[in-house]
Structure 1
C-alpha cells in the first residue's frame, strides 16, 4: 500500500462518489475504480457499498479509513520532524487558500518560493473561505477572506475595499433601480453587501438578483450591461477607468473585505513553513 492509496480512500469518503473523486484528483474514473478494487483486494474486504447516490462505508471500511487517516498523520509527522531537524529547507508545505487569492496573488508567491526552496513539496487546496475554516487543522497555513480564524495565530495580509460597478451611471439624489449580480462566496461577503444596501436603500434598490458561480462571470455579466456588481479592488484592475463605480462606505469609512493568513501556534518551527510565512507577510498586495 502506498500513501497515495490511503489518500484516495480519504478522498472517496470526503467526496462520496467515484466520479466526483476522479474529477477532484484529475484522473479518469476507470483508474479510480481500478485502484479501489486493488485496495479492497489487498485488505480482503469491501470498503464501500456502491449505491445509486453515493458510496457508503462498510464496517470493515470504517476500520480501514481510520487506519488510513492514522497512516497519513504519522507520515506528515515524520516528514515535519525530519524537516525541522535538518538545516536545509525541505519537507512538505500544506496550504489552503481562498480562490480569489489563489488566482490573483498566489501563483507569483509560490513561483518565487519554489525557486528558492525546490525541495519543498507543496500541497495546495483552494476554495471558499468557509470550507477552509472547517478543515483548517489539516493545513500548515490557511489564507482566508472575511473574518479571522479563531483559535489560530491570525495576521492581516490586506484590506480589500469594495466597489459597486455598472455600465450605467450612479446619479446623485435619484433612486437607482437595477438588477444586482452576485457571485458564489461565503456568508460574510454577502452580509457586507446586504448591510451596505440596507443603509443606502434610498439611493440604490436592486430590482432582482442574478447569482453566478465565479467572480469572473460576475464581472463579465456586469460588463454586458446585465446589472450592478459589487467587486473587491483586488479584482477590479481595468474596470475603474472604463465603468461607472462608487466605493462602498459606512459612516465615512470604506467597507473592506479583509484577507488573513492563519496558522497553528508552533508551526513556524518548521523551516519550510516559516520561510513561506516570512515571504507572504513581507509582500505588498494592493
Structure 2
C-alpha cells in the first residue's frame, strides 16, 4: 500500500461514488474497484459496503479513515517542508466558504496571498456556512471562512476578520407574512419563519425568539444555506434573520425589506478556522500569517 492508495481511498470517502472518484483521478471505475479490492485484501477486511445506490464505510473502513487522514496529512506536510527549504512555496491549499463570502470577504485575502505565493494552487469549495467548522474538523478543507460558534472545538484555531450584523427581513410581495406584519401589535407567534438548519444565524434567531418569549414559532421551512433562504423570503414564504452581507450582495435584495426590531440582534464574528495541527504545514502557516493584515 502506498500514498496514492491513501489519496484514492480518501477521495472515495468524500464522493461516495466510484464513477466520480474514477473520473476525477483519470482512471476507469473497474481500475478503481481493483485498487480498492487490493487494499482490502492487504488489510484482510472490507473497507466499503457498496451497492448500486451508495458506498458506505465499514467499521474497519472508519478506523482506516483516521489512519489514512493522519498519514496523508503527515506526507503532505513533509513534502511542503521540503519545498519550502529548496524552492518557492507551492502546492495545493483547500479552502471552504459560503457563496456570499466567496466574493464579499475571500478576494481581499486571496489577493494578498496570491501576490506573495503565486505557485500555490487554491482549491475552493462553497457551501452552507453552518458546515464550515465541521468540514475543517473532518479535514475536508485546510481552512474555512466560518462564523465563530458558541463553543469552538479545542482542536481548532479561529482568527476573526469581521463582525457580521444581522437583520430580520420580510417579503415585499403581498402574502400571509406581510398581512400579519401589519397588525399592531404584531403576533409573532403567527408569523411564518424560515430558519437556517444550524450555525451562528440560527443561534441568533433562537436567542431572539427566547427573548420575545416565543416558545413555539411557526416554522415554514428550515433551509441549508443563506442564499436559499433569501429566495424563499422574496417569494413570500415568510420572514428570516440573515447576515446583512448576504442581504446586501443578493441579486434579489430589492425584493425584501428589513424590519425594525425592538430587541436588537447581536452580531457574530466571521473568521478563518483551522486545525491546530495543520499550522505545521508551510502552506497553511503562510496563509494564516496573511490574516493579521486583513482586519
Q: Which residue of 2 aligns with 1:259?
A: 270
Q: Within 1, Cα distance between the matches of 2:135 and 2:32?
A: 27
Cα deviation for residue 27 of structure 1 reads 4.0
Match of 2:192 among 169, 179, 184: 179
Q: 1:18 to 1:131 in 2, by over 3 A?
A: farther
Is 1:141 matched with 2:143?
A: yes
Q: CA deviation at 1:117?
A: 1.9
The CA distance in 2 between the partners of 1:83 and 1:29, in whole Å, is 24
Structure 1 residue aligned with 2:32: 36
Change (3 A) 1:264 1:67: closer
CA distance in 1, matches of 2:63, 2:197: 37
Question: Does residue 246 of structure 2 align to residue 235 of structure 1?
Answer: yes
Q: Any conservation in 1 of the 2:95–2:122 contact (CA below 8 Å)?
A: yes
Stretches of structure 2 that go unaligned for 5 or more consecutive residues are: 173-177
Following TM superposition, by how much is the alpha carbon of 1:76 offset from its aligned partner in structure 2, in angstroms? 0.8
Structure 1 length as normaliser, TM-score? Answer: 0.72
Deviations 1:32-62 (A, max 9, x none): 6234224146558375442465445496x78
Name 1:9's counterpart in structure 2: 9
Cα pair distance change 1:74/1:197, threshold 3 Å: closer
Q: Which residue of 2 aligns with 1:91?
A: 91
Q: In structure 1, the residue corresponding to 2:284 is in which secondary structure?
A: helix
Conserved in 1, the CA contact under 8 Å of 2:89 and 2:283? Answer: yes
SS in 2 for 1:110: helix
For each residue in 1:202-231, what CA deviation from the matched residue of structure 2 results, as whole angstroms up to 9, or x when unmatched? 8xx954422334322211221222221211
The question of whether the paired residues in 1 share the 8 Å contact of 2:132 and 2:145 is answered with: no
Moved more, 78-87 or 222-231: 78-87
Q: Does 1:279 align with 2:283?
A: no
Q: Tell me whether 61-70 or 213-222 shows the greater mean CA deviation.
A: 61-70
Root-mean-square deviation (Å): 4.2
Distance (whole Å) between structure 2 residues aligned to residue 201 and residue 172 of structure 1: 18
What's 1:222 paired with? Answer: 233
Aligned-pair CA distance for 1:277:
2.8
Aligned residues: 275
